[in-house]
Amino acid sequence: MEKSVVCILCPKGCAIKVDMVKDTVKEVCGYGCIRGKEYAVSECTHPIRSVTGLVRVSNREYVMLSVKTDKAVPKEKIFDVIEKLNAICVDAPVYIGDIIQRDICGADIVATKTVL
């Protein structure tokens, strides 16, 4: 089975074809560099994504803290991460770059803004 992947690693946007037999990659073509080849293989075998979201701030009214995972997590874990983000409540002040929760599906949750 042939899968098509548009590489998003640079503006060139190469259209990459990945020929798969069951879960094994047989051939990859259409990539412009080795990073794109690795990206396409990863997309077809074990896709990963960074997750962004909002968490509540207990001592600030109408304020949410924007956060993200410090690394990409397996795509099938995205909703687990979001569910756990919904349960988090932090106390201000929080500074951009602070780790607000460790090891959610293998990633730490990092603040992407400052709330004083």
Read off the DSSP letter of residue 8.
-
| CA torsion through residues 109, 110, 115, 116, sign | positive
- Least Å distance between CB 31 and ligand SF4? 4
Nearer to ligand SF4, 14 or 85 (CB): 14
Q: Which of 33, 35, 38, 29 is nearest to 3 (CA)?
A: 29
CA 55 to each of CA 3, 73, 87, 94: distance values in angstroms, whole numbers, following the listed order? 36, 18, 8, 12
Q: Which residue is nearest to ligand SF4 (CB)?
A: 36
Per-residue binder mask for ligand SF4 (CB under 6 A), 10-49, x = binder: x-xxx----------------xxx-xx-------------
Nearer to ligand SF4, 40 or 67 (CB): 40
Give me the residues that bind ligand SF4 (CB under 6 A), please: 7, 9-10, 12-14, 31-33, 35-36
